[in-house]
Structure 1
C-alpha cells in the first residue's frame, strides 16, 4: 500500500512540476532556488512526522472509568469529545487510544473479565473491540451512539458476561438492547427491552451468581425514564422490574444484590425487596457515581451530579446504613493539582463516575467536567487527600491559535477554559486570562510581546471582553469595545500596537478601528458588514489579517472579495473586481510574513487563493482542491520563504501538507495522525522550521515535527 501511495504522489508531482513552469517567471530568485531544489529532491513527498500533544492538562468532560477486576494496569476512561485513554501505570500517564480512528466520541465501555487485554467501546457509529489494550480496533456492530449527548455521564451501556467472553450486551441510544453470543460476530435484538426514548439503554450489568447454558442467568438493563428491566434466562427475555427507580444512572451487582444510583437517591434490591440507602439529607438529589469495594462489600462510594462545582461525594463502611460526605468541614479534603493553571475550585464538578480499584484496597477515582481525581485511601481518618491524575489526558476544544515570531512558542484560545501561553510546549502552561471562552488572539508582528485577546463568559458571546498585554500575557489591561457589540475578531498593526481593527460578530457586525489601543473606537467606512457572521464562539470566519510589514494596512475577506485599508482601518475599499469563490465553512485570511501586499485566502472546500498585489488579482493554488485550514511558519534553513501549511486535499487525498516554495509543490506531513477530533485551526511555528500546531475539537493542541 505504501508503494502505491508513493507512486501516485510521484506521478502527480511530475504533472505539477510541468504546470509549475508557467508560474516560475513570477517567482523571486530565492523562490526559484527553492523550486529547483524541490524538483531535484522529488515533489509531493511523504515526510516522516511525529505527533504528540502540546501539554495542557485535562479541560474536558471525562464521562466514565472502568477498571479490570483481576489484572493490574487495565484502567480506562472515556470522554465526550476527546476519545478514550488507557492508564500506563509504569509511566503514570494516560495514553490516547483513538488518534488513528475516524471516530472519537465515546458513549460506553466494557472490559472482559476473562481476557484482560480486551476492551469494547461504543463510538458514535457503533461498537468496536480491541484485543491488544486499545492498540488496534475492529468494528463489531453498527449502531447509533452520541458520546456528546444527554445522559452521557451515565452507564455503562456495554457489558461482557463475567463468566464467558462469548456473550456481550450492547445498549443503544435509539434501538434498544442487542446481545451477541459469539464475541461480537453476530448480534440479536432483544425485543422485550424497549428502545428507551431519546437516550435509550444507558446501563447494562450482569449478575454471575446463577448460570444458564454456561452464561450468567441474570442481566439488568437501565433505561432513564423507563426504569430497570431484568432477565433471568441469560438475556433472552426481559421484564420490567417492579418498584425500580424510574431513572437509573449507574448500577452494580454484588453478592446477588443490585445497587442503583438514580435521579432521586440510592437504592439496593436483594432479589425480593427494595431498600433505600440514600445518604441522610440527600433524598431527592441526582446520584450518578456508584462503586463498591471488591475486598469489602460493605464499603460503598456514591456521588451526586449537578452542573456545578463541589458535587457531594459520600462513603459508607456499613453497606449504606450511614454515610460520610468527603468534601465537608466535618471530613475535610486536601487537593493537589498537577496542571498549574487549574483553580482548586474545580473539584467534583458535574461528577460523572466513581470507581474503587479492585486490586488496591482504598484506592478511589472519580471523573468530572475537567479530568480525573484520585484518592489512595478512601477510608483514612481526618482529612481526605485527593490529587488529580491528568498527565496525558488532553481534552480542550481549541477555538483559535497564534504562534509569534519571537517570545512564547504558542498562544491558544479554548472553549470553557479561555486559553494558554506556552513557553515550553512540554510543560503545563499559564492560563492567559480568567474568563471562559477565548476566541481571538492577535500579536504585533514587529513587537510580538504586544498581544490582544477577545474572550467571553458565555459561548453565545455574553460578556465579550477585549484585553491587551505588552508583556506576552504576563499582565493584562482590560479595554473597551464599541457599545452593543460582542464576539468577532481582533487584529493588531504590524508596527504599532496602539492601532487595532475589530470586527464585531453577527451578520450585521461592523468594523471599528482604534489608534489608542482600545481606549476608544471609531466606526470604519467602506468596510464589509458581517464578515464574522456566527453568533457564538465557534465561528469559523477568520476573515481579517494585518499586513506583516505595512502597519497601516489590514485586509478583510467577505463573499469573494478582499477589502483593504491603508490608513489603519479608518476607510476601506474593495480590491478585486473579479470575485474568487465564497468560503465553504472554514475561512482563513493570512498575510505572508516579511512581505507587504501578499495575502492568502483559504476557503475550505473552495480551495486556496493567493494575491501578491493587495487583493487586486488572485491566483488559485491549483495543487490543493480543498484547504480547510492554513498557516505560515518559519522558513527552511538557507531561505527566507516562509513554509506554508494547509489541511487540505491533494490528488484526492485529505491530509496535512507543507510547501516550501509558496504553493508550487506540497509534501504530506500528517503521518499516522488522523485528527479524529477535527482540525479547527492550525498555527505553524514561526521560530522553528517544520513544527506545526493543530487545534482540535476535543484533543487539545497536537504538534507535529520532522
Structure 2
C-alpha cells in the first residue's frame, strides 16, 4: 500500500478519471428502450448541513455532509454542489446519513465518509465507512460492526473521521455507544478498534429518550503538524481529551483538560469541536453542555466556552467571548481558524434562537472578539433596540428562507441561521467562508472586509445614547445551489405545476422546476404530510400538514392552481403537532375529506373549502382516503386490510367486501386519471403480504400484480400515444431488483428506468408521472429532495 507524507504532497494532488459505474436497465418483461436523465426540482438546501470540510492541500476542493441527504462535493466552475452518494440503494438506505467526512491532505483524490443514519432500531443496518480514490466518483464500502448516527444528536460535532497527514494510509474514526476509537491502516478498507485507547465517551444527552440516549463516544481527531501529536476529543466531562505522542501506540489524558473542557465549572461540558493554529502553537476547543444541534444553553450559567491550549507549555486559557447582545451566551457550535492568517479564528453560537445566531471573530488568538451584529439602544433604552450588522444576507435563489416572515425589529426574516455546527474558513483563501445551518449554506468571498470595519457601536455623549458607527457591510449569500436535502412526503403533478408536501418545510409549489419558487405558508405547516388535486378541475388543490399554535387548521386549500392558499378551520379536539394526516378532494373539487393524523379521530369531510367539518360515516380512524379521478361522487378508502367506497362524494362509505389485501404495514393506493373505478394499491411489509394489486371495479375485486414481490409507491403520467392508457410508475422490487419501474401497457410489462448510479436510498413515499410530458416521473426521496426524470434526447 502506497504511503505518502503530508509534507511531500503540499501543492500537488493526484486526480483519477474513473467514471461512475452504471448498469443496463433491469426489466420484468421486455427491454426498456428509453434512457433517462435525472435532475432535482430546485429548492436549494432545505435541510441541516452539519459539516463542511475544505481540503488542506488542493484549492477549491470542498465537501459538505448532510444528516439524511448524503455527501456533496463543491464544483468551483459552476459554484454548485455535486451529489456523491446517489448510488446508495434501498437495502442500505442508512448510508445516506453522513456522520463525518475526511478529505486526504496528502492525496486529495481520496475521500472518506462515515455513514449510518440512526443508532436505534429505526435503522436496521450497521454503519460503514465508504471510501473513494477518485474524488467521490466511485466508492468502496467497509462495513462496521456497530451503528452510526448521521441523524442523531451530536451529529454536528467532530469531525469523527481524520486522515493521518504523517501516514495517509492511516485513518481514524471516533465511534459512539461504547465502541471507542477505530483505525484503518489501509486507506479505509479494513478497520479495527484501537485497543490502547482507554475511554469510550459515556456522555448521554437524555437517557429517557430512545432518540437521545446515545453515548456520544469519541467526537473528533486532529493532528499537531508541528509536534507530531494526535489529539482526540471524548464526550466525557471527566475525561475529555487525550493525546498520543507516538503515532497512536499509547494514549494519555491531556493535563488540565478536565478543568478546562469538562466538569470543573459545574456545567459538565464536553469538547464539541477543535481547530489547530499550527503557526502559533495553539489548539482551540469549543465546549457545550449538550451535543446539539437543537438545544441552547442551560437555564442558568454559561452554556459553553472556548478554550485555548498552548502546545508548547500545556497552559489552558479561557478565551470565551465576554459579550452577547442579548445576555448569556447559550453555547457554541462551529469553530474555525484561518490557516493563512495565524491568530484569526471564528466561532458561532448554538442556539441563540432570538433574534439571531452570532458569529464571532478574533484576530488575536481569542484575546478579543467582535460580533457579526449588535444592538443600538436609544437614550431611553427602549425595547426593541435597533440592530446593526457587519454583512447583509442575500437570499436570492432561495426566497423561501424568509419562511414567510417579515423583519420584526432586530429579528430579521432572513437569519444568520440556526444549528450552526459547520463553520469553515477556506485554508487557501482568507476571504472565503462557508457555514451550514438547519436549512442552507451561507458564504462570502469578502470575509476580511470585517477586519477593516472596526466596532459596530459607539457612544454619542451629547445625546447620551449609543449610535451605529458607519461601516460598509459586505454580502453573505446562499452557497447551497445543487445541494438538495428535502424529505418529500407527497407529490401532486398537475402539468406545468408540481406541488409537494415536505418534512420540516411545509410544502412547495413549482411552476418552474429550475427555481425554488414558492413555499406554502398559509397554513403554516411545520411539516407537510399530503397533497391532492381535483381530477376534473386541477385548479383545486388541497394539502395537509402539522401545525403549531391555535390559528391555522391542518388542511390548506388553493382554488387557483397553487398560486394562493387559504387555511381551514381547526377541527375541535385535534391539537397541533404531528397530526397532519392525509387529505383528498373529490374529482370536481366540491368535497374535501381529511383523515387526522392522531390515530383516534374518524375522517371528516367539508363542502365549504374546510370552513366546517362533519364526520364521515362508515370509516374507522386512520383510514386512507383517495378520490376517483374521473367520477365526482366516487371516493375510496383503505384501513387494516379492508377496502371501502363512497358514491355520495365522501359523506358515507361502505366496505366493498374485498379480500386478499395486506392488513399490516404501510399501504397506499391511487386512482388512474382517465378511468373511473380503476385503482392500483401497493404496500404491506416483509414476512407478510407485500406487493401490488389492481382493481378495475372500484375496489370490489383485486388482482395481484405478480411482477413485484414488493411495491411501495405508485403514480400515473401521460400515456404513450394519443389515446394511450396512462403510464404507470412505481417504486418496487422485481426479481430481487429494487428500482423505479414504468409500464406503458397497463401493467402487462414493466421496465426499470433508473440504474444503479441513481437510487437515492429510500424512495417508498410517493411517485407521480407528469400528465402532460410523456416519460417524466417525479420521485419523493427522504433527504435528496424531489427527483425527476425525463427520457434522454
TM-score, normalised by the number of residues in structure 1: 0.88
Aligned length: 651
Q: 1:208 aligns with which of 179, 200, 225?
A: 225
Asked whether the equivalents of residues 594 and 603 of structure 2 are also in contact (C-alpha less than 8 Å), the reply is: yes
Deviations 1:376-427 (A, max 9, x none): 22231232421110110100111111112x4x43100101111111111122
CA 1:684–1:221 in structure 2 vs 1: closer, same or farther (change >3 Å)?
A: same
Q: Establish whether residue 689 from structure 1 lines up as the match of residue 689 from structure 2.
A: no
Q: 1:248 aligns with which of 271, 276, 297?
A: 271
Structure 1 residues 487-526: aligned runs within 5 Å: 487-495=580-588, 497-526=589-618
Decide which moves more: 105-114 or 217-226: 217-226
Asked whether the equivalents of residues 329 and 352 of structure 2 are also in contact (C-alpha less than 8 Å), the reply is: no
Give the match for residue 340 of structure 1.
Answer: 399
Q: 1:219 aligns with which of 231, 235, 243?
A: 231
Deviations 1:22-50 (A, max 9, x none): xxxxxxxxxxxxxxxxxxxxx25374222
SS in 2 for 1:341: helix
SS in 2 for 1:603: strand
Q: 1:395 aligns with which of 457, 482, 485?
A: 485
Between the aligned partners of 1:303 and 1:627, the Cα distance in structure 2 is: 45
Q: 1:551 aligns with which of 620, 626, 632?
A: 632
SS in 2 for 1:342: helix
Asked whether the equivalents of residues 456 and 463 of structure 1 are also in contact (C-alpha less than 8 Å), the reply is: no
Give the match for residue 660 of structure 2.
Answer: 580
SS in 2 for 1:494: coil
Between the aligned partners of 2:422 and 2:482, the Cα distance in structure 1 is: 19
Between the aligned partners of 2:337 and 2:152, the Cα distance in structure 1 is: 27
CA 1:218–1:45 in structure 2 vs 1: closer, same or farther (change >3 Å)?
A: closer
Asked whether the equivalents of residues 456 and 462 of structure 1 are also in contact (C-alpha less than 8 Å), the reply is: no
| 1:62 Cα deviation from its structure 2 partner | 0.2
Between the aligned partners of 1:623 and 1:583, the Cα distance in structure 2 is: 20
Deviations 1:671-699 (A, max 9, x none): 23112154321121111111111111111
Asked whether the equivalents of residues 26 and 752 of structure 2 are also in contact (C-alpha less than 8 Å), the reply is: no
Between the aligned partners of 2:484 and 2:26, the Cα distance in structure 1 is: 35
Between the aligned partners of 1:617 and 1:683, the Cα distance in structure 2 is: 24
Q: 2:436 aligns with which of 364, 367, 376?
A: 367
| 1:482 Cα deviation from its structure 2 partner | 3.4
CA 1:115–1:420 in structure 2 vs 1: closer, same or farther (change >3 Å)?
A: same
Asked whether the equivalents of residues 499 and 562 of structure 2 are also in contact (C-alpha less than 8 Å), the reply is: no
| 1:331 Cα deviation from its structure 2 partner | 4.1
Runs of 5+ consecutive residues of structure 2 not aligned to the other structure:
1-21, 90-94, 117-126, 203-214, 263-269, 289-303, 375-386, 403-412, 454-470
Q: Establish whether residue 114 from structure 1 lines up as the match of residue 89 from structure 2.
A: no
Q: 1:269 aligns with which of 279, 299, 309?
A: 309
Give the match for residue 34 of structure 1.
Answer: none
CA 1:461–1:394 in structure 2 vs 1: closer, same or farther (change >3 Å)?
A: farther
Structure 1 residues 144-159: aligned runs within 5 Å: 144-159=147-162
Give the match for residue 707 of structure 2.
Answer: 623
Runs of 5+ consecutive residues of structure 1 not aligned to the other structure:
14-42, 211-215, 532-542
Between the aligned partners of 1:307 and 1:661, the Cα distance in structure 2 is: 57
Between the aligned partners of 1:284 and 1:516, the Cα distance in structure 2 is: 50
Give the match for residue 474 of structure 1.
Answer: 563
Decide which moves more: 284-293 or 59-68: 284-293
Between the aligned partners of 1:8 and 1:416, the Cα distance in structure 2 is: 35
Asked whether the equivalents of residues 583 and 603 of structure 1 are also in contact (C-alpha less than 8 Å), the reply is: no
| 1:5 Cα deviation from its structure 2 partner | 8.8
CA 1:592–1:301 in structure 2 vs 1: closer, same or farther (change >3 Å)?
A: same
Q: Establish whether residue 229 from structure 1 lines up as the match of residue 242 from structure 2.
A: yes
Asked whether the equivalents of residues 82 and 677 of structure 1 are also in contact (C-alpha less than 8 Å), the reply is: no
Between the aligned partners of 1:583 and 1:658, the Cα distance in structure 2 is: 26
Q: Establish whether residue 181 from structure 1 lines up as the match of residue 168 from structure 2.
A: no
Deviations 1:598-621 (A, max 9, x none): 222112442111111112211111
Q: 2:337 aligns with which of 292, 296, 305?
A: 292
RMSD across aligned C-alpha pairs, in angstroms?
2.3
CA 1:325–1:189 in structure 2 vs 1: closer, same or farther (change >3 Å)?
A: same
| 1:141 Cα deviation from its structure 2 partner | 5.5
Asked whether the equivalents of residues 520 and 565 of structure 2 are also in contact (C-alpha less than 8 Å), the reply is: no
Q: Establish whether residue 133 from structure 1 lines up as the match of residue 135 from structure 2.
A: yes
Give the match for residue 733 of structure 2.
Answer: 649
CA 1:224–1:444 in structure 2 vs 1: closer, same or farther (change >3 Å)?
A: farther
| 1:160 Cα deviation from its structure 2 partner | 1.2
SS in 2 for 1:234: coil
